[in-house]
Amino acid sequence: MKNLLEHTGLEPGRLHFSWISSAEATKFVKVAKEVSAAVRALGPAKYLVKRRAEVV
Amino acid sequence: MIELTEKIRDIAKKLLKDGTVDVFIGYKKGSVPMMNEPVLIRNPDEADLLYWDSNCGLNLCNYLTGRTDRIGILATGCNSRSIVTHIIENQIRRDQLYIVGIPCTGMIDHRAVNRAVGHREITDITESDITFTVTGKGFQETFNKADYLQGNCKVCRHRNPVEYDEMIGEPVEEQKGIEPYSDVKNIEKMSCDDKNAFFRRLIDKCIRCYACRNACPLCYCPTCFVDESRPQWVGKSIDPTDTMTFHLLRAFHCAGRCTDCGACERVCPMGISMRQFTRKLNRDAEELFSWQAGLSLTERPPLDTYRSDDYNDFIK
Ligand code: SF4
Ligand code: SF4
């Protein structure tokens, strides 16, 4: 899924996958921090954003 | 071509007469040139409607879904693979089918031919072994078939049926030395913005008519996600984001199942190459899971099996 989205122009680093058990609190915190840092670094999303003005 | 047509008619007559099958699915000559249509024959007397040439690009497997009778069906390489996919997805049983395999030399890209004659109206097309001739008012031109193959047929590696009960004619030689995914690789080399622009332009003209979905043998859900309104999964307008969402989701639904038969592209009224979506998934299926759809009746597809060595580099 990630491959096709990135193939069609989604920035690498926008979409993340992880497998975290409910018992892995520290892993959850770590991954959440990493994801938010990576996404913040990319700036606002440009891909698959719906803007009303584009339809005429 | 005419010999093959005769053979198909004879086999269909025989199968219907001796009761091996209740219905035979093949092609008949279309009402316009280069557009042969699928046809279901029940009565042996109608078998002479059947026809075969290089304009039979629709996928007959579409007409199998959920049938309960016994069916004779004509199958090229890609069609036979779609039939195998149907069988392993429990849409039809193997013992209901009598598959008449036909070695294939590719289908003609009707758009390329229309371009080549400057969009003058073609009223007839005839074919010999490696050439075909189109005729219209005040013109007649002959082309090499190899130069006018559909995009998917140019890169086809399974022209001979993989599953059949009877074969019409000798197997053809498979194409050698083809690079099946050069187009996908070229896109992979682009920058992220260029990829985005490429795909946006690609589907720019899409009118959301869903002909591509209807022509696809894999799209057999009773209600397609695009038609559902509660919940509404995807916007129904031609807003670029809605259209992209439609194409992405349609492609994902075909992951590990698509045989690149080219029916979707063939039927698009806007000439969109939506195979670029499914081809990326086909390439990934092949690269990451060594899987090409529809080659085996016994192996399970990658998306319904788990192996501990499955590709999972993308998971943190
Ligand atoms: S993809 Fe292969 S088997 Fe299918 S129509 Fe084209 S050449 Fe024939
Ligand atoms: S057939 Fe073409 S125009 Fe119609 S929905 Fe598919 S891509 Fe869009």
What are the DSSP calls for B276-301, one per residue? HHHHHHHHHHHHHH---TTS-SSSPP
Using alpha carbons, select from B73, B47, B50 the residue that is nearest to residue B61. Answer: B73
Average pLDDT over every residue of A5-24: 83
Using alpha carbons, select from B112, B19, B17, B9 the residue that is nearest to residue B51. Answer: B9
Extents of the domains making up chain A: 2-42
Task: From B56, B78, B160, give the residue whose CB has the most ligand 1 atoms within 8 Å, as the site to mutate.
Answer: B78
pTM beyond cutoff 0.80:
yes
Cβ atoms of B139 and B122 within 8 Å: the answer is: no
**Chain A hits for B240, Cβ within 8 Å:** 54
Q: What is the pLDDT of residues B100-141, one digit of tens each?
A: 999 999 999 999 999 999 999 999 999 998 999 999 999 999
% of chain A residues with pLDDT over 70: 86
- Tell me how far the alpha carbon of residue B219 is from its chain's centroid: 12
Whether residue A52 has pLDDT greater than 70: no
User: What is the secondary structure of B35-81 as a DSSP string?
Assistant: --EEEEE-SGGGGGGB--STT--S-GGGGTTT--S-EEEEE-HHHHH
Which residue did the predictor score with more confidence, B83 or A19? B83
SS3 (DSSP) at B241: helix
In the predicted model, residues of chain B with pLDDT beneath 70 are none
SS3 (DSSP) at B256: coil
Using alpha carbons, select from B223, B285, B234, B275 the residue that is nearest to residue B251. Answer: B275
Confidence bin at A47 (pLDDT 50/70/90): confident
Whether residue A25 has pLDDT greater than 60: yes
Return d(Cα B142, Cα B126) in angstroms, integer.
9
Return d(Cα B122, Cα B134) in angstroms, integer.
6
User: What is the secondary structure of chain A as a DSSP string?
Assistant: -HHHHHHTTPPTTSS-B----TT-HHHHHHHHHHHHHHHHHH-S--TT---GGG--
Neighbours of B178 (CB within 10 A): 12
| Mutant choice from B187, B190, B194, B195 vs A, greatest count of A C-beta within 10 A | B195
Return d(Cα A31, Cα A18) in angstroms, integer.
8
pLDDT in the model for residue A56: 45
Size (chain A), residues: 56
SS3 (DSSP) at B230: coil
pLDDT in the model for residue B272: 95
Q: Do A17 and B242 touch (CB under 8 A)?
A: no
Neighbours of B118 (CB within 10 A): 7
pLDDT in the model for residue A50: 73
**Chain B hits for A3, Cβ within 8 Å:** 280, 284, 314
Ligand nearest to the CA of B247: 2
